[in-house]
Structure 1
Amino acid sequence: MFRRTFWFTTGVAAGVWATTKVNRKLKQLTPEHLAVAAANKALEAGGRLKDRAVDFALEVRDNMARREAELGDALGLNAPVDRELPAPRHYAVIENRSRPPYAEGLTYKTYPYNRNEDH
């Protein structure tokens, strides 16, 4: 009698365990649960991607600043600035002979037909 009770109890326990396991798996396969799981996975992946992008951007910014400093040193842009103003430039004056000088009172030559006067 004890044997039968043991195996009956073992069978009931196995049945309850299997039923619970199957119900959990079925609940995980419902469309609502799948949508929630997919959204959670997407949020986790987005967070990891954002962290990596921020790290990458900071690394690029640091390397850019370091390279700009190297180029500034190589080109002499980081050298101390001389506060003295440069000498003024002198420009050569070129006389424009295509236009009559106004100082002498000459005017432009007028032509008999000017299309602007027809209006």
Structure 2
Amino acid sequence: MFRRAFWFTAGAAAGVWATTKVNRKIQRLTPESLAAQAANKAIDAGHKLKDFALDVRAGMIQREAELGEVLGTTHRPDPAPSAGPGTAVPPGPRRPALGNPGRSTHIHPYSYNRNEDH
């Protein structure tokens, strides 16, 4: 009698354990859970990539300083100013207007037509 009660209890416990395990696995495989896991892994990868880039940049600065000491060029000249926001762009080639007297004859070299993408 006790044997049957023991095996019945052991079987019930094994069934509850297996059911719990399967339900947890199913919950981890839902689309929402998979999306959250992918997002977390992407964020972690981004942090690792940023840390790597910062380490490389620090190593570059250190190595440039070492080379500057060895070569005797301890000061860095200021880089040439780049065309950033707020700076004037040199005028591009001028073309005649296409029959519209109100239209400007200046064609900007970096013009962008928003309708080209559609």
What TM-score, normalized by structure 2, do the two folds share?
A: 0.59
Aligned residues: 75
Gaps of 5+ in 2: 76-118
1:51 equivalent in alignment to 2:51: yes
Question: Is the radius of gyration larger for structure 1 or structure 2?
Answer: 1
1:103: which partner in 2?
none
Gaps of 5+ in 1: 79-119
- Cα distance in 1, alignment partners of residues 21 and 66 from structure 2: 59
Q: CA deviation at 1:69?
A: 2.4
- Cα distance in 1, alignment partners of residues 7 and 71 from structure 2: 84
- Cα distance in 2, alignment partners of residues 35 and 14 from structure 1: 31
Q: Deviations over 1:38-95 (max 9, x none)?
A: 111111111111111101100001111221222226xxx89xxxxxxxxxxxxxxxxx
What TM-score, normalized by structure 1, do the two folds share?
A: 0.58
Deviating above 6 A after TM superposition, structure 1's stretches of 4 or more consecutive aligned residues are: none
Higher relative contact order (CA 8 A, sep 6+): 2
RMSD of aligned C-alpha atoms?
A: 1.8
1:26: which partner in 2?
26
